[in-house]
């Protein structure tokens, strides 16, 4: 069964303290792995798509990487405005259905 698992569930960081969020997946025929950011009371906001093992994408303080079984979202020198829930998702084969993890709630303390 296709599945996405994120860890940790919650993470508290001091401002400037770098860390990584993990997304492990099992899916037959990965078409893409997607990272989203969700702020309270809002819908998820698209960050990155990764398609193949070894691929990396960067945006400001965020860098996403992909292996054959997992993806990491690295956060370098985070700021309080990076506080949000980060979701990863994989696209199921043969359609436009996505499987989402339950997210990592990140809090960055000034």
Partner 1 sequence: KAGVTQTPRYLIKTRGQQVTLSCSPISGHRSVSWYQQTPGQGLQFLFEYFSETQRNKGNFPGRFSGRQFSNSRSEMNVSTLELGDSALYLCASSSSSENSPLHFGNGTRLTVT
Q: Which residues bind partner 1 (CB under 8 A)?
A: 31-32, 34, 36, 41-46, 49, 51, 87, 89, 91, 95-103
| CA 13 – CA 108 distance, rounded (Å) | 5
Task: Give the pair of three-digit tokens for residue 89.
Answer: 């998702």
Nearer to partner 1, 18 or 51 (CB): 51
Nearer to partner 1, 44 or 78 (CB): 44
The alpha carbons of the chain give a radius of gyration, in whole angstroms, of 13
Q: Chain-centre distance of CA 45, in angstroms?
A: 11
Nearer to partner 1, 32 or 63 (CB): 32
Q: How far is the CB of 74 from partner 1 (least distance, A)?
A: 20
Q: How far is the CB of 90 from partner 1 (least distance, A)?
A: 11
Task: Give the pair of three-digit tokens for residue 102.
Answer: 């339950």
């Amino acid at each position: 069964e296709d599945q996405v698992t994120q860890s940790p569930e919650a993470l508290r960081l001091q401002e400037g303290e770098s860390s990584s969020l993990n997304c492990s997946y099992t899916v037959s025929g990965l078409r893409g792995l997607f990272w989203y950011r969700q702020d309270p009371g809002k819908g998820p906001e698209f960050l990155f798509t990764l398609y193949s093992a070894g691929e990396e994408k960067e945006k400001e303080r965020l860098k996403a990487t992909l292996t054959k079984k997992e993806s990491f979202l690295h956060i370098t020198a985070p700021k309080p405005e990076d506080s949000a829930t980060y979701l990863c998702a994989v696209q199921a084969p043969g359609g436009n259905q996505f499987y989402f993890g339950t997210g990592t709630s990140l809090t960055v303390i000034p």
